[in-house]
Amino acid sequence: MKDGRHYFYKKVHNGEQIDLENNEEEKLLNEALTMFDALNYIQTQGLLDDEAWEYFACEIQNFALNNSVWEYMHKIEEQYQAKGFPENIIPFTGFPELFKNLPNKFRARCPSQLEKQFKMLSPEEQNSYYGKVKDIPDKQKQLKHAAAIVVFAKAKGDITPEEKYNRDK
């Protein structure tokens, strides 16, 4: 199980598609999003101070930048809406709220060099990268933009800071 979790989290962190047909990966995603729902409740009670935000901010953003996380949340939302459940009790609605309430000082910023390279692409090329993060809601414009740039960087062969760290160890 530990190896499965490691592989799953590596996929999340690298923005790779999570296999929602794989029971183990779906179970791990469900567990993580349930934990984020609980964390959102704690946040609504005013119990997340800067120290706690600092601890969780990276993981919140890693999950938020992964398109398949949003795809899964959308699938679950549709299932529960079809059953007539009210929106405020549908699972995983806390995760987008948690991300939305993330303090600015803990938000990741795209390296300006990547941002410039992305802006130099034709609109069609940019749209192809936005298409790869289509499940991130349009109302999360900055997040969708950052996720598209992450996908662009990976397509160029750039390595993530985490990969560089592991390589240099």
What does 11-56 look like in DSSP terms, one character per residue? HHHTTPPP-TTSHHHHHHHHHHHHHHHHHHHHHHTT---HHHHHHH
Residue numbers of the domain that contains 142 = 109-169
- Binning pLDDT at 50, 70 and 90, where does residue 69 land? very high
pLDDT in tens, 123-139: 999 999 999 899 888 88
Amino acid present at 129: Y
Query: Is the pTM higher than 0.85?
Result: no
CA distance 33 to 10: 16
Asked if the model's pLDDT at residue 2 lies above 70, the reply is no
- Regarding whether 124 and 82 lie in a shared domain, the answer is no
H helix or E strand, kind and range, residue 11: helix 2-13
Flag whether pLDDT at 168 surpasses 60: no
Q: Choose the final residue of a domain: 60, 86, 108.
A: 108
